[in-house]
Chain A
Amino acid sequence: MLMFAYLAATVGLVQGLKYMGEPAKAKLGNQVAAASVLVALAALIYATGRAGTANLLLLLVLLALGTLIGNMWSNRVAMTAMPQLVSIFNGLGGACAVVLGLNQVFGQATPMDGKLAGTVLLLTNLFGAVAFTGSMVAYMKLDGRKLPRPSQGQKLAARVLLVVMVAALVYYMAWPADAGAFTWLILAISVLALLYGVYFALPIGGADMPVVISLLNALSGVATLFAGLVFHDPVMIIGGILVGATGVILTLQMCVAMNRSLSGVLAGTFKGGKAAQAEGEQELRSITAVETASLLAFSKQVAVVPGYGMAVAQAQRECFALQEMLRQQGVDLHFIIHPVAGRMPGHMNVLLAEANIPYASVKEMSEVNNTMEHYDTVLVIGANDVVNPAAENDPDSPIYGMPIIRAYKAKQVIVLKRSSAKGYSGAVNTLFDRQNCKVLFGDAKASLEEVINELKRI
């Protein structure tokens, strides 16, 4: 009976994930996956439910509590803060693995048998702990909290911790250890792995956080997989692997999109990172909102390149208003999305969708990059590195080699910027040196509002 339910749930999970990769069926996929987990959970409770009414009641209350908290958080969070929330959820899953592993040893909820089981349990805690603290650091980085600056010391600490943990695991597998030693070992591994998570995530640059979150997601999947082996639970094993595999593929796809190697991301280095900072102040040509409005009004094809700055300024609704405004005047406005714009792939798409911007006007970078010269005006809103031509022609630039949106090929580029600060990577943006580039200073939202008001008057 349980097996049949598990079989159904497994098929559901795989199918759900498959649907989640297809735009038209993604929502259904999510529901199928959720329903599959529910079915499996019900079957599991039914099969083990002989324990006692008190246990069962407690369980139901706890499940309800967790669901309530999860629902509340996910409803309250602003769409811009989505990556942070995913990071927190992932961290909690990791924490869950650590608690489970320790409880398995100290509470002797179920007896431990043999070295293989012990190793698997240690690995559960290791991966869970790294996913937990790593996700928390990633969350704080994304949320702009104050953290110690990246340093060589942190990378060194991470490496030492990793070596010690691997050594401890090998020691455990190779030499006989009694039960008393095992309790110390799992405590030590848990603490070391918690520390490792922190030192692993700290030195990695904020721009690389999407990759890190995706990787940590894969790690928590692996933790689930090992926990599944501990509890002899096939659905946990399969779910864990699916998550692990998704996480790894997504991580690699993101690296490809940024033209960074995974090892480069993990080492926390941008290629040739030193060359960039030496140069002096760039001279920026500024433009007023009035001039911008008239430029837009006389254009035929306009594109907006949004970045994290648009998300921070919450300017997506103004983007929609601008699009409507221009449409009435016969001007076509596209949105061009860089694969890693914002803090997560697809982040910008979610934000624009939230503001009701029609799907057809949102273009992927690869769709339009060879025809950029057709655009009369390109507005870059809160993006920087993803339109920096240095990525194409300056081998010394830290972002050299990253695919960019060729905004510089448009007849006129207007960059909406709050200040003359550099992009996330710290690279000098040579776009500003181009003759066809002007800067509209100010908060993106306020600037857009001004432009829209100006357009109304024309």
Chain B
Amino acid sequence: MEMSYTITPIDGLFVLALSLLVGFEVIKNIPAVLHTPLMSGSNAISGIILFGGVTQLLSTPIDQIWTIAAASLAVVLGTINLAGGFFVTHRMLSMFVVKRKPTAK
């Protein structure tokens, strides 16, 4: 079972080609209203680059101070991108929900 999840470059290319198609298919014809939230949401998803930092951090002995420090920095940067992006998208979209109710003020 050792590291059974690693993928070869060829696997990577397959994944690449297929997700590219899926990506284009999924996000065609978005109404302009949703452009900003979608941009913000997909921006959040690009924060999963922090997984790289997680891998580095967990596979480095803790006494290699500089490597650990750099990996830590990467994790924090990536997490801000990821979490902040999702929070801010949530906030934006929450406002859209408000407006669907009839305003009675």
Minimum CB–CB distance for B62 against chain A, Å = 4
Q: Which residues of B contact A249 (CB under 8 A)?
A: 24, 27-28, 30
Minimum CB–CB distance for A409 against chain B, Å = 22
Q: Say whether A238 faces chain B, with CB atoms less than 8 Å apart.
A: yes
Q: Say whether A313 faces chain B, with CB atoms less than 8 Å apart.
A: no
Which single member of A67, A243, A353 contacts B79 (CB below 8 Å)?
A67
- A27-B97, A245-B23 known; A66 vs B45 contact (CB < 8 Å): no
Q: Which residues of A contact B22 (CB under 8 A)?
A: 14, 242
Bits for B28-41, please: 1 = Cβ < 8 Å to A, else 0: 11111111111111
Tell me the bound Cα distance from A45 to B50 in angstroms. 12
Which single member of A66, A86, A240 contacts B39 (CB below 8 Å)?
A86
Tell me the bound Cα distance from A48 to B47 in angstroms. 19
Q: Say whether A73 faces chain B, with CB atoms less than 8 Å apart.
A: yes
Please, how many residues of chain A have a CB less than 8 angstroms from a CB on the other chain?
A: 122
Bits for A365-403, please: 1 = Cβ < 8 Å to B, else 0: 000000000000000000000000000000000000000
Q: Which residues of B contact A230 (CB under 8 A)?
A: 52
> Which A residues, 349 to 373, have Cβ-Cβ distances below 8 Å to chain B?
349-350, 352-354, 356-359, 362, 364
Minimum CB–CB distance for B100 against chain A, Å = 6
Are the CB atoms of A54 and B46 closer together than 8 Å? no
- A30-B37, A74-B91, A90-B46 known; A358 vs B103 contact (CB < 8 Å): yes
Are the CB atoms of B16 and A66 closer together than 8 Å? no
Are the CB atoms of B36 and A96 closer together than 8 Å? no
Q: Which residues of A contact B42 (CB under 8 A)?
A: 17, 20, 217, 221, 242-243, 246-247, 250
Q: Which residues of A contact B33 (CB under 8 A)?
A: 23, 346, 349, 364
Are the CB atoms of B91 and A233 closer together than 8 Å? no
Tell me the bound Cα distance from A260 to B42 in angstroms. 23
Q: Which residues of A contact B103 (CB under 8 A)?
A: 356-358
Q: Say whether A160 faces chain B, with CB atoms less than 8 Å apart.
A: no
Are the CB atoms of B62 and A58 closer together than 8 Å? yes
Minimum CB–CB distance for A295 against chain B, Å = 25
Bits for A54-81, please: 1 = Cβ < 8 Å to B, else 0: 1110110011011101110111010100
- A59-B58, A93-B43, A346-B32 known; A65 vs B27 contact (CB < 8 Å): no
Which single member of A58, A257, A337, A345 contacts B72 (CB below 8 Å)?
A58
Are the CB atoms of B51 and A217 closer together than 8 Å? no
Are the CB atoms of B83 and A220 closer together than 8 Å? no
Are the CB atoms of B88 and A37 closer together than 8 Å? no
Are the CB atoms of A41 and B56 closer together than 8 Å? no
Are the CB atoms of B35 and A37 closer together than 8 Å? no
Are the CB atoms of A20 and B58 closer together than 8 Å? no
Task: Mark B residues whose CB is within 8 Å of A.
Answer: 4-7, 9, 11-12, 15-16, 19-20, 22-24, 26-62, 64, 66-68, 70-100, 102-103, 105
7 examples of A-B residue contacts, CB within 8 angstroms: A17-B41, A66-B76, A70-B81, A85-B88, A246-B42, A344-B36, A356-B98
Sample of 16 further A-B pairs with CB below 8 A, known A73-B88, A107-B60, A244-B20: A44-B55, A52-B61, A90-B46, A96-B74, A96-B81, A116-B9, A231-B52, A234-B11, A237-B12, A241-B16, A242-B45, A250-B27, A253-B35, A346-B36, A349-B96, A357-B99
